[in-house]
C-alpha cells in the first residue's frame, strides 16, 4: 500500500461530513475533527480495503475544518482507533487487559500469529489480509477474552476458534459476531446457574 497523493470526500462521505459539522455551532466546526477522521478512514477502507489515514486525508480534514494540519495530526495520532499506517483487510485487535489476559488472551494472540504468520503487534501479514494489534480494555470483560475484527467483537475466544474465525474471514464469509461458545450474550457459560427452579409460593 503506497501513500496516496490526493484525497477528497466522496458523495457518500460528504453527506456524513455535513451532518457531523452541523452538530456544532458555527465557528466551532473544529469540534467535528474526530467524526471526520473516522469518516475519512472508513471511506479509504471502503474503497481500498485498508482502513487507514494517509497524511493527505488528514490534510483534507484540516482544510475542511479550517484548522492547522498539525492539530489534526495530533488528534489522529492520539487515538489508537485511527490507523496512521496501512492495515490489512481485517484489523485483528486483541484485548490484553487484565480480565482478558487472565482468561487466555495470550493464547488468542498466539493463535492469531500462527494463523497469519505475523511476528509481532503492529505488523501486517504477507498476504495483506490481516493486521494484528494489541488494544486496551474493550469493555467486554464478561465474555473475555475478546478479539475485535474491524468493528466486530468476537468473544469467548480460544485458539481453535481463532483459527476457525480467520479461515472463514479469509474465505470471504462474515461469521456472526458475539460469544463464540454458543451462549446468549453474557449469560452464564453452560446455561443458567441460579434461579433453576421457581420457588413455590
Partner 1 sequence: MAKVTVDGITVEVPNGSNVLQACEAAGKEIPRFCYHERLSVAGNCRMCLVEIEKAPPKPFASCAYPVADGMVVHTDTPMVKAARRGVMEFLLINHPLDCPICDQGGECDLQDQSMGYGGDTSRYHENKRAVTNKDLGPLVKTVMTRCIHCTRCIRFSTEIAGVPEMGATARGESMEVGTYISKALSSELSGNLIDICPVGALTSKPYAFVARPWELKKTDSVDVLDAVGAAIRVDTRGSEVLRVLPRINEDVNEEWLADKSRFALDGLKRRRLDTPWVKREGKLARTTWPEAFAAIEAKLTGLSGDRIGAVAGNLCDAESMLALKHVMAALGSTNLDCRQDGAALDPSRREFFTFNTSIAGIEEADALIIIGSNPRHEAPLINARIRKRSLMGAFPIAHIGVAADLTYRHQYLGGTPQLLAGLRDGSNAFASVLRGAKKPMMIVGQGALARPDGAAILAACWALAAETGMLTPDWNGFNVLQTAAGRVAGLELGFATGKTLAQMLGGGVDLLWLLGADEFDAAAIGPNTFVVYQGHHGDRGAARADVILPGAAYTEKNGTYISTEGRVQRGALAVFPPGEAKEDWKILRAFSALIGKPLPYDNLEALRMCLVQENPLFDRLDILPHFGCSDTTGPVSVGAVGDALFEPAIENYYMTDPISRASPTMAACIEAQKHPKTPAESAMAAE
Nearer to partner 1, 19 or 68 (CB): 68
Euclidean distance between CA atoms 40 and 51, whole angstroms: 9
Min separation Cβ 53 and partner 1, Å: 12
Nearer to partner 1, 38 or 164 (CB): 38
Min separation Cβ 148 and partner 1, Å: 20
Instruction: Put the strands of the sheet holding 147-149 in their side by side order.
Output: 130-135, 90-95, 147-149, 152-155, 178-179
In the shown chain, the binding pattern of residues 95 to 134 toward partner 1, with x for contact by CB under 8 A and - for none, equals ----------------------------------------
Among 77, 98, 167, 181, indicate the residue that binds partner 1 (CB under 8 A).
77
DSSP state, 197? S
Euclidean distance between CA atoms 103 and 106, whole angstroms: 9
Euclidean distance between CA atoms 154 and 114, whole angstroms: 18
Nearer to partner 1, 4 or 160 (CB): 4
Contact between 55 and partner 1 (CB under 8 A)? yes
Round to the nearest angstrom and report the end-to-end CA distance of the chain.
Answer: 68
Contact between 28 and partner 1 (CB under 8 A)? no
Residue carrying C-alpha cell 485483528:
92
Which window, 73-81, 90-98, 156-164, 167-175, contacts partner 1 (CB under 8 A)?
Answer: 73-81
Do residues 83 and 51 touch, judged by C-beta distance below 8 A? yes
Q: Which residues bind partner 1 (CB under 8 A)?
A: 55, 68-71, 73-74, 77-78
Amino acid at each position: 500500500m503506497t501513500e496516496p497523493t490526493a484525497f477528497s470526500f466522496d458523495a457518500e462521505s460528504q453527506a456524513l461530513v455535513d451532518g457531523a459539522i452541523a452538530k456544532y455551532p458555527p465557528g466551532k466546526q473544529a469540534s467535528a475533527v474526530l467524526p471526520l477522521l473516522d469518516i475519512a478512514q472508513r471511506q479509504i477502507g471502503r474503497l481500498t480495503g485498508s482502513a487507514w489515514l494517509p497524511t493527505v486525508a488528514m490534510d483534507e480534514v484540516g482544510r475542511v475544518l479550517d484548522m492547522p494540519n498539525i492539530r489534526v495530526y495530533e488528534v489522529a495520532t492520539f487515538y489508537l482507533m485511527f490507523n496512521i499506517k496501512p492495515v490489512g483487510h481485517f484489523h485483528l485487535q486483541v484485548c490484553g487487559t487484565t480480565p482478558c489476559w487472565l482468561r487466555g488472551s495470550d493464547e488468542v494472540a498466539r493463535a492469531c500469529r500462527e494463523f497469519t504468520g505475523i511476528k509481532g503487534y503492529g505488523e501486517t501479514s504477507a498476504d495483506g489480509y490481516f493486521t494484528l494489534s494489541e488494544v486496551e480494555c474493550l469493555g467486554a470483560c464478561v465474555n473475555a477474552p475478546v478479539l475485535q475484527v474491524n468493528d466486530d467483537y468476537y468473544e469467548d475466544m480460544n485458539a481453535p476458534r481463532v483459527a476457525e474465525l480467520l479461515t472463514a474471514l479469509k474465505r470471504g464469509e462474515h461469521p456472526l459476531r458475539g460469544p463464540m461458545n454458543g451462549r446468549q450474550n453474557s449469560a452464564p457459560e453452560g446455561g443458567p446457574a441460579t434461579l433453576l427452579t421457581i420457588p413455590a409460593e
